């Protein structure tokens, strides 16, 4: 099983959406995703919950969690979400960065655009690795 970690600082927006899209679209027998943050926030952003609910993905009950050594130990790939110098690095993991705007506090129109861009990137990742 291949595991991808989507990580950002607060694990309350981009990384939550990316992991949710990944798990909804991937062949679950080949790959799975988790999300985490270096300094997890208190909750998933309400605008993210709403945007994902609109496409049939319910993130209710999801809570930001920390990126730990245990979580990283079983992963093959770390994708950071445009957090610049604050992005985590995990020695030994292949890493990619998706330069994405933080949806926190943005208009619903902009959050939807970010959500859809993340979906497109997830589909490309799944196809490139044969995980769909």
Give the Cα separation of 70 and 74 in Å (integer): 7
What token pair was written down for 4? 């991808």
Burial of 8 (0-12, 13-18, 19+ CB in 10 A): buried
Give the Cα separation of 69 and 128 in Å (integer): 27
Query: Which residues share a beta bridge with 33?
Result: 4
Which residues are known catalytic residues?
Answer: 8, 83, 87
DSSP reduced 3-state for 37:
strand
Which of 58, 70, 69, 68 is CA-nearest to residue 23?
Answer: 58
């Amino acid at each position: 099983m291949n595991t991808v970690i989507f990580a950002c600082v607060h694990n309350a927006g981009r990384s939550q959406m990316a992991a949710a899209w990944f798990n909804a679209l991937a062949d679950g027998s080949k790959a799975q995703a988790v999300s985490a943050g270096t300094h997890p926030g208190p909750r998933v952003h309400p605008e993210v919950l709403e945007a994902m609910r609109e496409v049939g993905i319910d993130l209710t009950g999801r809570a930001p969690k920390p990126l730990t050594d245990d979580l990283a130990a079983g992963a093959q790939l770390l994708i950071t979400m445009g957090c610049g110098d604050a992005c985590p690095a995990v020695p030994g993991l292949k890493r990619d960065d998706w330069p994405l705007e933080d949806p926190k506090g943005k208009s619903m129109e902009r959050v939807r655009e970010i959500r859809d861009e993340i979906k497109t990137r997830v589909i490309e990742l799944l196809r490139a690795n044969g995980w769909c």
